[in-house]
């Protein structure tokens, strides 16, 4: 609609017929055509607004979000250094764009290894910056029936759904001596998918891991030896920079049975060593059901578990162990990867809320519930 007397144009929404406002970009049109003098004609041809004024003609077309991104990337000089651009975007707190740029660099096998190693180091910082931004709750669907904890992802698990962990951002090096310069190799080396569900029986978690070389966990080692799943559950969902009393940790792994001790000769004179002042029995297994099953073709493993609500309610300081829709928690999951049996060098992480050191006794040092995945029970 053109007002030729006042040299103005009003544009109506194609769907609703209501005038578009300055907030929707119309002010740009008005500012451009005013210096062109009296407006003689205005019409829409396709997706383009054409105007004819006494001192010239003009055309206007809106850009989609995708087109804006393409235009922005294409406007960069082809010789722009990826590291300089990543640093610039980090300062602007454009974490998603930084992560995409760094992952493209890591996946470029023709890139100099030193450059890819630097990109891997910067990627951890970018992921942590992204995690500091407010995250929407991940909704955990209620299952009609509780899954059978047998290592298979049949019903009621929906194997087509889940949270994919298959990008370089999800693979990190264990801190300490031997940390790999480029943790990411490929999806077959280490990737996976996390499944979450709940029933009145408990919180159900399954992790399907792709790993071309699975090894048994050594429970007596002081370092992470073998493949192992580490789950940290912030039962109250209140976050925190450091772990609190309501946070609990659970580990699940292939653990070979302990060798039976060789029976010693009977101590006739009673001069043998005194028994230790503590129990040497195995640690008590966590409540609930849990299992680890290796794939028959050797391409990975499935970790599956049910955590009873009674234990979660106890950690939350509540007497009632009945879950309810809207109940909030935070979850951190990491799976160590030891391809040689001499010690894990990297791990697959759901979020940056768990930074693992090669030493087991430092597990809580890199745990930040604020950066773990916020979840909420759905109906």
Distance of CA 70 to the CA centre of its chain: 26
The answer to whether 217 touches 225, Cβ cutoff 8 Å, is yes
- Answer yes or no: do 45 and 177 share one domain: no
The answer to whether 349 touches 341, Cβ cutoff 8 Å, is no
HSE value, Cβ hemisphere, 13 Å, CA-based, for 168: 26
Assigned token pair, 55: 């001192």
Structural domain containing residue 111:
75-132
Q: Examine residue 267 and state whether it is found in any structural domain, yes or no.
A: no
Q: What angle (nearest 5°) sits at the alpha carbon of residue 149, between those of residues 144 and 150?
A: 125
Helical H segments across 302-352, by residue range: 309-316
The per-residue pLDDT for 43 is 82
Helical H segments across the chain, by residue range: 26-33, 65-74, 82-91, 95-107, 113-132, 309-316
- Answer yes or no: do 211 and 154 share one domain: yes
The answer to whether 371 touches 132, Cβ cutoff 8 Å, is yes
pLDDT tens string, the chain, 379 residues long: the values are 555 555 566 767 666 666 666 555 666 777 777 788 888 888 888 778 888 888 888 888 776 666 666 666 665 554 458 889 998 888 888 999 999 999 999 999 888 899 999 999 999 999 999 998 888 999 999 999 999 999 988 878 876 689 999 999 999 999 988 888 899 999 999 999 999 999 999 999 999 999 999 899 998 899 999 999 999 999 999 988 888 888 888 888 866 655 556 556 555 555 555 544 333 344 445 578 999 999 888 899 999 999 999 999 988 888 887 899 999 999 999 999 998 889 999 999 999 999 999 999 898 888 999 999 999 999 8
Count of Cβ atoms closer than 10 Å to residue 306 Cβ: 23
- Answer yes or no: do 367 and 230 share one domain: yes
Q: Examine residue 303 and state whether it is found in any structural domain, yes or no.
A: yes
The per-residue pLDDT for 302 is 94
Give me the CATH number covering residue 187. Answer: 2.60.40.1190
Please list, in sequence order, all residues whose beta carbon lies within 8 angstroms of the beta carbon of residue 115, skipping any fewer than 6 positions away. Answer: 82, 83, 105
The per-residue pLDDT for 348 is 96
- Answer yes or no: do 212 and 307 share one domain: yes
The per-residue pLDDT for 56 is 84
Q: How many domains does the chain have?
A: 3
The per-residue pLDDT for 30 is 74
- Answer yes or no: do 226 and 183 share one domain: yes
- Answer yes or no: do 160 and 290 share one domain: yes
Domain end: 83, 110, 132, which one? 132
Domain end: 132, 150, 178, which one? 132
- Answer yes or no: do 156 and 244 share one domain: yes
Considering only CA atoms, give the Rg of the chain: 29
């Amino acid at each position: 609609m053109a007002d030729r007397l006042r040299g103005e144009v009003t544009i109506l929404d194609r769907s609703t017929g209501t005038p578009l406002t300055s907030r929707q970009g119309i002010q740009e049109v008005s500012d451009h055509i005013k210096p062109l003098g009296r407006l003689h004609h205005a019409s829409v041809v396709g997706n383009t607004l054409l105007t004819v004024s006494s001192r010239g003609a003009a055309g206007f077309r809106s850009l989609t979000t995708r087109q804006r991104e393409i235009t922005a990337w294409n406007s960069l000089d082809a010789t722009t250094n990826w590291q300089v651009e990543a640093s610039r975007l980090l300062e602007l707190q454009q974490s998603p764009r930084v992560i995409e740029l760094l992952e493209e660099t890591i996946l470029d096998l023709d890139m100099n290894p030193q450059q890819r190693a630097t990109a891997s180091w910067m990627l951890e910082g970018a992921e942590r910056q992204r995690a500091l931004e407010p995250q929407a709750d991940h909704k955990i669907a209620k299952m009609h029936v509780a899954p059978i904890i047998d290592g298979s992802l049949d019903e009621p698990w929906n194997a087509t759904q889940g949270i994919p962990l298959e990008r370089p951002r999800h693979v990190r090096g264990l801190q300490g001596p031997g940390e790999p310069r480029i943790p990411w190799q490929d999806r077959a080396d280490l990737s996976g998918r996390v499944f979450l569900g709940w029933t009145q029986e408990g919180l159900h978690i399954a992790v399907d891991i792709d790993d071309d070389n699975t090894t048994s966990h050594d429970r007596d080692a002081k370092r992470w030896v073998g493949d192992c799943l580490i789950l940290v559950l912030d039962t109250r969902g209140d976050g925190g920079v450091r772990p609190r009393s309501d946070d609990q940790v659970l580990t699940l792994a292939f653990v070979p049975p302990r060798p039976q001790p060789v029976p010693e000769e009977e101590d006739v004179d009673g001069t043998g060593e005194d028994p230790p002042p503590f129990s040497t029995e195995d640690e008590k297994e966590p409540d609930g059901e849990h299992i680890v099953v290796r794939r028959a073709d050797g391409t990975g493993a499935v970790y599956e578990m049910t955590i009873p609500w009674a234990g979660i309610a106890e950690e939350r300081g509540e007497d009632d162990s009945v879950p309810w829709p809207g109940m909030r928690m935070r979850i951190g999951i990491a799976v160590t990867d030891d391809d040689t049996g001499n010690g894990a060098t990297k791990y697959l992480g759901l979020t940056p809320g768990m930074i693992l050191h090669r030493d087991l006794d430092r597990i809580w040092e890199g745990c930040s519930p604020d950066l773990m995945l916020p979840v909420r029970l759905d109906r």
